[in-house]
Amino acid sequence: MPLLSHLSALPTLENDLALLETKLENSVVAKDPYLTEIAKHLITAGGKRVRPGFTIASSAIEQQDTIPVAVDVLMGGVAVELVHLGSLYHDDVMDEAEIRRNTPSVNAVWGNHTAILAGDFLLARASEIAASLGTEIAGLLARTIGELCEGQILELQSTFKPSRTEESYEQSIAGKTASLLSTACRIGGLTGGLERDTVDQLTDFGHSYGMAFQIVDDILDVVATEDQLGKPTGNDLIEGVYTLPVLLALESDLGSQLHDLLGKELDTKSRDRALGLIRSTDAVEKAFDRAQYWALKAKASLESLPPSPATNALFAATNHLLEQAHN
Ligand code: GRG
């Protein structure tokens, strides 16, 4: 899905993202063309650029006229996307994923060792760019990388555990997903030279949006088709990651039947049975209510910001997220 369907209310975004794309590709050029090729692999494979899109939109929320954003804003967006990319390289190694962005994953093409080092290289380039934007942004991005790791470690601790709690789930997605969306918006506010209060509101917006974003992603894993997802439906179940719809289904009348299937590796038949059980409860609807709760919180954070094309775009992006889960 193209990013513009998220932030289409911002007329300058397409041009700003085109400029960002060149800077993103240039940012991963290494001495060795072999490393450059590996570091560029997922950049050229696509991706929605949600995080840099949010950096750009956040920086522009006080502008009524359509002017391109400053270079520092674009570089902030590049740093954020590089952290996202680095986390995808590492995540695909951990999951032994074969496909990412509808293309063979880095680990599938070059192996785990190279994928981990190339991911480290992306994080290094992100850190270098963040340092060039000042100590506050450098510290913020470093803290965010730590939060991604904390969220992911928490998730690992509860794999194949049907006893995983909703609190633990929320803590994990706050780290692995919401922290970077929040930081994307904060960096937009900081590089856009906005007042502290405004920067804090954008940070809160990004956090709440990120929580809704991950819950929607987790709902889609249970309800969307393989074609829509670009990976097998119920992939999280197969990996033993029991997300919100699964945890809510475990609390339902069919919970004990579902419980009997979980806690171990699933063959295709058991996965389909587990998916069938989850879908026949109200767990997806309840998970959607939770996504809606976070989306409302996200929009509440935008309410006191000045109305502008960028603020409208952030509102529209939040509404669009919920539509995705409801269709
Ligand atoms: C090395 C920074 C670092 C982290 C290590 C592996 C790990 C810890 C964290 C993984 C975090 C992770 C992959 C979270 C999932 C976030 C998510 C919903 C990704 C999909 O984002 P989209 O939909 O993807 O924006 P595109 O491809 O469009 O960019």
Range of the domain at 238: 5-326
Is 148 touching ligand 1 by the criterion CB < 6 Å?
yes
Domain of 256: which CATH number?
Answer: 1.10.600.10
Is 176 touching ligand 1 by the criterion CB < 6 Å?
yes
Q: How many structural domains does the chain have?
A: 1
What is the whole-number distance in angstroms between the Cα of residue 188 and the centre of ligand 1? 19
What is the 3 state secondary structure string of the chain?
CCCHHHHCCCCCHHHHHHHHHHHHHHHCCCCCHHHHHHHHHHHHHCCCCHHHHHHHHHHCCCCCCCCCCCHHHHHHHHHHHHHHHHHHHHHHHHHCCCEECCEECHHHHHCHHHHHHHHHHHHHHHHHHHHHCCHHHHHHHHHHHHHHHHHHHHHHHCCCCCCCCHHHHHHHHHHHHHHHHHHHHHHHHHHCCCCHHHHHHHHHHHHHHHHHHHHHHHHHHHHCCHHHHCCCCCHHHHCCCCCHHHHHHHCCCCHHHHHHHCCCCCCHHHHHHHHHHHHCCCHHHHHHHHHHHHHHHHHHHHCCCCCCHHHHHHHHHHHHHHHHHHC
Q: What is the pLDDT along the chain (327 residues), one digit of tens a residue?
A: 555 556 777 888 999 999 999 999 999 999 999 999 999 999 999 999 999 999 999 999 999 887 889 999 999 999 999 999 999 999 999 999 998 988 999 999 999 999 999 999 999 999 999 999 999 999 999 999 999 999 999 999 999 999 999 999 999 999 999 999 999 999 999 999 999 999 999 999 999 999 999 999 999 999 998 888 877 899 999 999 999 999 999 999 999 999 999 999 999 999 999 999 999 999 999 999 999 999 999 999 999 999 999 999 999 999 999 887 776
Is 155 touching ligand 1 by the criterion CB < 6 Å?
no
